[in-house]
Amino acid sequence: MNFHTRASVPLLPSLAMLLVFICLLLVSPLLVQSFDANASSTSAARALDALLQDYAYRAFVRPRTGVPYDARVPSNFTGISITAMRLRSGSLRTRGVRMYKEFEIPIGVVEQPYVERLVLVYQNLGNWSLRYYSLPNYTYLAPLLGLLAYDASNLSATNLPELDLRASGDPIKIKFSDVRPAPNGSLPKCVWFDLHGLVKLSNLTSANECSTIQQGHFSIVTESIAPPSPPTRSEGKESNRRTWIIVASVVGGVALLAFLGFLVLWARKCKRRKKMQEMEKAAEVGEALHMTSVGDTKAPSATVTRTQPTLENEYVP
């Protein structure tokens, strides 16, 4: 009996750990939902970059080095404009580009890994800026502009990885031409999105001008001063659904722990019953002895005698 009790004690911490694991397994999707939302937004933006790279390369029918070529986008992306320009890496590094749309590229811009020729793809996302690059609590004052570098060795290639374009000397300047005035009391800021979802805010270098040492997507924003809108009906339903999932997971975990505890008690009871049955079988193998009291103790005694005692006066010759 003591053995089974000691053996069952280590099961309780194991059951508690199992309950915690199940609860975390059920609730963890809710904890990472915000991270998944950011990841899905970055993934959609990267897919758009790949699509625009494909259509930008289609503009190179008879390409000439250093000449920008405006490209067409699919009809379902009306409002986005793209341009492609092929350059020699050495020329870009030693001469720069005086003006490529809104980008002024100085001397000393290099790419990694090194390629002999590269293509600079310009993007103006127009009214699609907020859809692919949402920035909570901020308002766009200018369309989002992109500058990305690709290998130009194969102008028919698609899904090309971006080159790492960096300014080793003076920064690249972005001179925005279509900028809405900022609301009274608000301060315009430059915003930069890198290719991995990182967002960085900085001050304008001059009126409607930002600067960068890396490629990416750029715009001018201002902090929103309007109060946040109340949650929509769908958001309220989503919040209620999360609450019910958490409650159900906790209740289910407690019920599972109770069930496992019942199984442990049932197993202990079965083992005890089995042991008693084995003891009874072992006792039935020998002859049971009659117990009698002798003082304060009990001792076995025979139920019958082999020879009846005979008194002397009862003897008959």
CATH 2.60.220 fits 39-221, yes or no: yes
Is residue 38 classed as helix, strand or coil in its secondary structure?
helix
pLDDT tens per residue across span 193-212: 999 989 999 999 999 999 99
> Is residue 307 scored above 90 in pLDDT?
no
Pairwise CA distance, residues 126 & 108, whole Å: 30
Which residues are within 8 A (CB) of 55 and not within 5 positions of it... i.e. 6 or more apart?
71, 72, 73, 74, 82
Pairwise CA distance, residues 165 & 93, whole Å: 11
Is residue 113 classed as helix, strand or coil in its secondary structure?
coil
**How confident is the prediction for the chain on average, in pLDDT?**
82
Beta strands 97-100 and 103-105 are antiparallel
Both tokens of 284, joined, read 């039935």
> Is residue 29 scored above 50 in pLDDT?
no
pLDDT for res 181: 92
Both tokens of 313, joined, read 């006066």
Residue 95: CB atoms within 10 A of its CB come to 14
Residue 57 DSSP symbol: H
pLDDT for res 2: 47
Range 4-11 average pLDDT = 47
Specify which residues 145 forms β-bridges with. 124, 218
Pairwise CA distance, residues 1 & 103, whole Å: 84
